[in-house]
Amino acid sequence: VLSGCGVYDGTEIHEASAVLVHLSRGGAEVQMYAPDVPQMHVIDHSKGQPAEAESRNVLVESARIARGKISSLAKLTTAEHDAVIFPGGFGAAKNLSTFAVDGKDCKVNREVERVLKDFHKAGKPIGLCCISPVLAAKVLSGAEVTVGHEEEEGGKWPYAGTAGAIKELGAKHCVKEVASASAVFSLTPLYEAHVDTKNKVVTTPAFMCETALHHIFDGIGAMVKNVLKLTGK
């Protein structure tokens, strides 16, 4: 499920690509969806500032990542799918929810909420990375998720405050690395994802951490691998 195209006002493109590569490697058949709604706003990514005169549609922008093969989120049903995955990017907090503005008092897009509740009720796994675990924290009471660390640690975890908001939403936050410190120097690195086995929710920090791109990519791989494992297929 995508939320636009571009880290500051939509889906984080590297995260979406990583999810798709790992799903492909895992032999999964993929269908992409996005809500057919206006974006909260449009960011000029070259300046990091809002483009005041512009407006864009989340589904239309997400189609850039999907190479045109995308459907409205209203058409997504649990009966036709084994799992659902939400990449991160500020779009998850701006277009799929109002978390970027309202924090713990946020509202979740009604189709996003429906999908999360439907998959949870059906006992089918839900994967989320970066900021998108806030969606599960808001919708699925008592879920266990991770957005990484709970302290900024000199800028390594610039969005660490999100962990506090997750707790205020009634979810449990579990501290995780993108890659364990020892694993960075290992021939067989250990990339981390948190698996809430009760709720079948799998999360990983991704770009919540300031680290090398390949660590982000492989951390997302750990999330995808666990999602696929939970499908039992």
Can 130 be counted among the known catalytic residues?
Answer: yes
CA distance readout (Å), 103 to 16, 91, 94, 113 = 24, 14, 11, 16
Tokens standing for residue 218: 């492989």
Catalytic-labelled residue, pool 5, 106, 129, 130: 130
- What are 179's strand-pairing partners? 191
Spatial contact of 151 and 176, defined as CB atoms under 8 Å apart: no
Q: How far is 54 from 76, CA to CA, in rounded Å?
A: 29
- Residues sharing a CB contact under 8 Å with residue 108, sequence separation 6 or more, in sequence order: 96, 97, 116, 135, 138, 139
Q: Which residues are catalytic?
A: 130
